[in-house]
Chain A
Amino acid sequence: MSMQTDTSLASLPINDPALPRHRQLGLSDEQVLAALAGMQRVRNVDDRLWQLSRQGKAHFVITSAGHEATQFGCAWAIRAGHDYSVPYYRDMALALALGQTPLDLLLHGMGKPTDPASGGRQMFGHFSSRALRIVSGSSSVGSHIVHAVGLALAFRITGEQDIAAITFFGEGATSEGAWHEGMTIAGVQQLPVVFVCENNGYAISVPAHREVPVRDVATKAAGYGMPGVIVDGTDIFAVYAAAHTAMQRARSGGGPTLIECKLHRLRPHSNADDHSKYRSPEELAALAQHDPIDKLRDYAILHGLLDAVQWQVLQQQIKAEVDAATLAADQVPDPPLESLYDHLYGA
């Protein structure tokens, strides 16, 4: 029930301070490189969507830029297709990290019938895949948290062990009544669910101090009978450690955890937003220092996982990949008009 600002790594495999951080956490070099590539890949898709929106081909973009380390760090702690993930619109990087492809994301962003998330029905940002156990969400802020709680309740009812649900949301969502009700039920019943707050300091234009009554969202955990953990959300290893611990705690009957990942939204809220109206030029200029991709790249280079040339090559490969995916997505024809009426009721 106490608030931890430092995460216990007791449940993580290796604990030798001489090792690089990823090895301490039991992560292989390949895993780190795959995450770095994945983060770069999703950033490319992000860039591409903004381009496509200017071309009138993607009508809505909601960035995950700045949130990638948090989402990839959590993904390491999730067994996709087994544990359930209940994301929000900011979680493009999570969707990719859990197994969706750039093509999947672009089909979604371009509203194509083969969009695996919604068959072209939902605006971009509503990631979903039953196979990966990524739960379909609405756009209503805060309304999905309780679905993760309900999933955890289901595990309790069926008696399933070694499974957990994890849900993601912004700090703004923590003001919603439905969020509170989900937290309350999870706390009362000590359910196997992990709550991840991606605190980027803004709810669209409203700064945290006008929407969150406490400095740290993690403080709220105390009212729900669960630990609250604060991590640097631009540090993939810190996030992984916290998420892994929390997921293991949940899976082994230890109850829920609230993890607050502090990070920065590097771009406007969406393509409909102009953040210069509410963020000062200084604040905007400083954002570049908080890019989690730069951070992980520097780490990888420092520890010899790749060199600057390899990084260049990787970036080009990824760009080519995303180019190809864009082309493929763009060629998908519109759905038949009668499909508007499909999937309203089941059989």
Chain B
Amino acid sequence: MRFDLNDEQRAIKDAIREVCDARASRGEGAETDGAFWSELAKSGWTQMAVPQEFGGQGSGLLELSLVLEEMGRALVGGAYLGHAAAAVLIAASGDEQQRPRWLPGLATADGRAALGQAHNGGALLVDASGAALAVIAGPETAAVLDPVPGALNEAASLDVTRTLHRVESAGAERLRGDVDRGLDRAEVLLAAELVGVAQRAMELAVEHASNRQQFGRPIGAYQAVSHRCADMLVQVESARSAVLSAAWTADHEPEQLPFAASVAKVTAASAAWQVAAASLQVHGGMGFTWEYPIHRYLRRAAAGARLLRSVDHHLDRIADQNGLGAEAVAAGAVQPAYAVP
């Protein structure tokens, strides 16, 4: 029992942080950034999520989560989430025919995949321009749209670091395996990205609170600000614990994943939005300007929290798993279903 990263995991985290920080320091335009994607592909980062038997690196979900947290923190490489999520979805929820058909392409430099959300009979694709294929997720389904049509109908994206397109999903082929398994794994990656968003939003708040003077003191000396920051820390660390645990669980105790993934999504989605909103408040008027980065985090948090299945969906599942499900009622169970090691 050791809840800390091993040397290899730390090395991954340090390496991707360096890559992301370097990209972030080059300024705006980080969104759907072909050059950055090529850089990531060249160094093999984009192959991590593809199983080895299909030409990828077959990294664990824990390692992928470390990458995604750093990307969320630096708010770069937005397309990476969709690609990695699509890969784990096809790998976990595709059947014997589907996996060899699509996964090898995802391990190649020009085989980028995008993620889409079923919506109003069609789908909304995230960062789809230039993607070879897309996986469209619904609350209980996932389907592969191959190829992504050349002419895409652009929609206004709340998350300004990502593009959004509307497509017909009629031609998409449903993944025929265990869809929940793939969705849960994708949720963990999304949650990891949201932890990075929350982390950076907190850092910005703490930095501002330490420097900004009002009434003769740095505002971080006032409890209205400092306690707000402390609450951010509680949320960020809790979400990080939940994501690390869910990612580890996916890799090692997959039968426990449904609970762990729901906990990760709920905590990370709440943390990202609440921390970003609180950070904006700490920044005062400055936080409300377009030029200052906090709103990009806020938008990522708002949209990200609503990708894949909703928080309410997860809460309902958690209630079902913990004594309020139909089976529990039938069995008269009192003990929670979940087992502590």
Q: Indicate whether A and B interact.
A: no
Measuring CB to CB, which residues of chain A are less than 8 angstroms from any residue of chain B?
none
